[in-house]
Structure 1
């Protein structure tokens, strides 16, 4: 009788333990289902950039544009050499879907010109950061590295005071006005127009300084540097960088005159580089 009671008690204990395990499993399932989607729902992924591929860089610049930026091409008499000059040299790259570029170098009787066109397609590997946002960050880094000067107000020539003095004088003051006019027109007196060229020169210099550009891609800047090489000839390098969506484009245009003491024309080089950048932006958007 005592043995039978023991077995019955043991069986009851096993039943209780099994019931507890089943209850725990049920509770665990209820807990997992209490927040459906917390672990299994898809995390929001940032939008990919507009561009999935890049253009062929050496074919991105037309012959007419190369003729303008690299005048020495027109002086090449050998057809094969001229064609090779137009073709350019592709820059080294390990992933043509991410970064491509092309270089040209042409010598002429007056100068040696260099041109680099570089395309970089930015891809973000962070699901929370879009390709555009990543490209914007990289562009900001490039702009900061350019160390652009603070923008300054353009200097304008002060209008001549002759317009304010043209009011008809009263009869009582006509003689004094005539005397004043004679005095002001004296060759020994400094005339206001003499200051106009200086003011215009300052204004032009301010307009050509390195700066942020508008109307080119989503954002853009221009850098202009003049330096001397070992031969003491001054080389000017104009760089235009712009971003459109997740692609960053760099145009680097440099010229070194053949004659020491000759300084490359800043405005001409900037105009050429900006026109090329605008054409590249249009081709990307086309």
Structure 2
């Protein structure tokens, strides 16, 4: 009888202990949290960019546009060589969803013309930085490296630089290398401003490197004239714009055959800006 009473008392003790454990883990008890002050807070990842892919760069420029920017292309008599010139040459890339490019080079009796387009899709690997913000940082780095003149006064409102900067072109006016009649920069700008894209220049001051409006989310144009010793002066017009997380760089060069001939600034800028607008339309931006 004593043994039976001992077993019964032990069972009662175990039952009491189990009841205490069950009540301590009930739904009404506070949640065990090492950092109770952080309860309910979550980290929201930055938004991804709009674009997941890039256009095929060599097919992004139409034949009509190439005819205007590379006049010598229509002078190629061999059909196979002309088709090859239209196709351009793709830049080497290891990821066509991240960075692609294409370039063209065509020689004519009057000049050698070069054109290149580059698309870069920016991806941020920082959860606190969006793809758009990362692309904006890349764009701003390019703009800073271009050393654009500081706008002031009324020029700032129109996106034109300060008129105290030196004009981008000098020397003789353009020859027929671009297919146009030689005119001075000022008269050329005035005569064709109506047909040029969004707020085109009407004076040599407005042809300076500058920020552009109405092209993507942000854009700028650069215009540089360089001379290689005794050779003709080469002009390079660069347009860079950003649409969401894609940065597009367009470079247009012309080097006339004749020494002392200066490529027309406005004509090249208008052509480059028209192509940039077409590329922005292809991106849908």
Same fold (TM over 0.5): yes
Q: Flag the structure with higher helix content.
A: 1
Q: Are 1:253 and 2:252 an aligned pair?
A: yes
Moved more, 107-116 or 229-238: 229-238
Deviation string 1:225-275 (CA, Å, 9 cap, x unpaired) is 000125432100000000010000011000000001000000000000000
Unaligned regions of 5+ residues in structure 2, if any?
1-20, 156-161, 164-185, 191-200
Q: CA separation in 2, counterparts of 1:63 and 1:103? A: 14
Instruction: Find the aligned partners of 1:149 and 1:95 in 2 and give their Cα distance.
Output: 35
Change (3 A) 1:38 1:101: farther
Query: Larger Rg: 1 or 2?
Result: 1
After the TM superposition, list the runs of 4 or more consecutive aligned residues in structure 1 that deviate by more than 6 angstroms. Answer: none
Give the TM-score normalised by the residue count of structure 1.
Answer: 0.70
In the TM superposition, residue 43 of structure 1 has moved relative to its aligned partner by 2.4
Shift of 1:32: 2.3
Structure-1 separation of matches of 2:283 and 2:126: 25
5 Å-filtered alignment, 1:5-44, equals 30-32=31-33, 35=36, 38=39, 43-44=43-44
Q: Distance in 2 between matches of 1:125 and 1:34?
A: 28
The aligned runs of 1:233-248 (5 Å cut-off) are 233-248=232-247
Structure 1 window deviating more from structure 2 (133-142 vs 144-153): it is 144-153
- Which residue of 2 is the match for residue 273 of structure 1? 272
* Residues in 2 aligned to 1:62 and 1:203: alpha-carbon distance in whole angstroms: 28
Unpaired stretches in structure 1, ≥5 consecutive residues: 1-21, 157-195
Matched positions, count: 221
* Local SS of the residue matching 1:54: coil
Q: What CA deviation, in whole Å up to 9, does each residue of 1:120-160 have, x standing for no partner?
A: 0000111111111111111111100000011255699xxxx
The TM-score with structure 2 as length reference comes to: 0.71
Shift of 1:34: 6.9
Q: How far 1:213 moved relative to its partner?
A: 0.2
RMSD: 3.0
**Separation in 2, partners of 1:32, 1:149:** 57
2:99 is matched with: 99
Where in structure 2 are the equivalents of 1:213-232 lying within 5 Å? 213-232=212-231
Q: CA deviation at 1:35?
A: 3.4
Q: Which residue of 1 aligns with 2:113?
A: 113
